[in-house]
Amino acid sequence: RAMTRENVDLGIKVVTLAVALFGVGKYFLDQAAAGRVERKSRALDFVAAYAGDDLVATRVALYDFWRNHSEFVGFAQADGVSERAYGMFVRAALAEPEQSQPLQEALFRLANFYEQVGYCRASELCDAAILDRYFCGRIRAEWVAYAPFFARMGAATGYAEFGQAIGEYAAQCSAS
């Protein structure tokens, strides 16, 4: 009888331990799943923000800038443009503060947004695959177009790193 009781007690302890281990394992799996959902949600929030009023207005301001410089755009598309010539264009575009203010404000908003996206991606708080699928092509094209503007604005403000997070993201992301 004592042996049976010990066996029953041992059996109950083993079952209880197994249930506890299963519960702990399930807890960690649930936490991991919740983390994935949160990362996806944060990434989708950035996608939604890109379509929001503020960034649409930003893109419209940038579109207006290029529309107002359509001769340069046509020349650049037809014949290409050297880095030196593009640099001269950027200097001229930013030379008059009153005329370039809408452009600079739009570039500041764009840089700020992409720095937030890049930080979220790099810190693994956001789902990198979602961000890359949506933003990689856009950020690469915008980096090519606006890197000289960011450099010039950074030099003018003494913040040489201005916009550089965009270039880092553009270099790291992989278009899917």
- The alpha-carbon radius of gyration of the chain (Å, integer) is 27
Encoded tokens for 132: 């890359």
Over the stretch 94-146, which tens digit does the pLDDT of each residue have? 998 888 999 999 999 999 999 999 999 999 999 999 999 999 999 999 999 99
The number of beta carbons lying within 10 Å of the beta carbon of residue 149 is 25
31: pLDDT strictly greater than 60: no
Q: In terms of pLDDT, which residue wins out, 64 or 1?
A: 64
Over the stretch 140-164, which tens digit does the pLDDT of each residue have? 999 999 999 999 999 988 988 999 9
Q: In terms of pLDDT, which residue wins out, 174 or 86?
A: 86
Q: In terms of pLDDT, which residue wins out, 70 or 11?
A: 70
54: pLDDT strictly greater than 50: yes
What gap in Å lies between CA 103 and CA 117, rounded to an integer? Answer: 21
* Range 59-80 average pLDDT: 90
Encoded tokens for 111: 């840089």
Residues in contact with 63: Cβ distance below 8 Å, sequence separation at least 6, in sequence order: none
pTM (predicted TM-score): 0.78
- Note whether 49 and 113 are within 8 A (CB): yes
What gap in Å lies between CA 130 and CA 133, rounded to an integer? Answer: 5
DSSP state of 124: T
Q: pLDDT grade, residue 176 (50/70/90)?
A: very low
Q: In terms of pLDDT, which residue wins out, 34 or 141?
A: 141
* Range 82-99 average pLDDT: 89
20: pLDDT strictly greater than 80: no
What gap in Å lies between CA 150 and CA 108, rounded to an integer? Answer: 9
Q: What is the mean pLDDT of the chain?
A: 87
Q: How far does CA 10 lie from the centroid of its chain?
A: 55
